[in-house]
Amino acid sequence: MRIYVTSVFVDDQEKALRFYTEVLGFVTKHDVPLGGGARWLTVVSPEAPDGTELLLEPSGHRAVGPYKAALVEDGIPATSFAVDDVRAEYDRLRALGVRFTQEPADMGPVMTAVLDDTCGNLIQIMHTK
């Protein structure tokens, strides 16, 4: 068994697509209209175009808003992405105007930082030392 698709709920799919591709550097894998303005919209790492897809899922369900708000309020990331060097990625993203809620931090065997994806989520970046 393998993970094929995972998702983050986003407030605005178009805004999320711009952030996840133009800022974070992912590439669009699927963009399929579903009706009512929603899309099956996935992105992948350019380093693994056939790897796990991240679905930029609309936040329309009534449970999503309170769920996302509670995670953000408690500082809990919705997901985590691996990078080669957290400090270098932190510097690159800060230069692009990305807001971080946690600066790079040594967490024992890993280094982490947490950013705001502008679509209602906190996202952790990490690398293993």
Name the residue type at position 12: D
Cα gap 39→78, rounded to integer Å: 20
Q: Kindly report the pTM of this predicted structure.
A: 0.94
CB 87 within 8 A of CB 104: yes
The neighbour count for residue 71, using CB atoms within 10 Å, is 16
For residue 20, the SS3 value is: helix
Under CATH, which architecture does the 5-128 domain have?
Roll (3.10)
Each residue's pLDDT, cut to its tens digit, for the chain (129 residues) gives 999 999 999 999 999 999 999 999 999 999 999 988 899 999 999 999 999 999 999 999 999 999 999 999 999 999 999 999 999 999 999 999 999 999 999 999 999 999 999 999 999 999 999
Q: Where are the domains of the chain?
A: 5-128
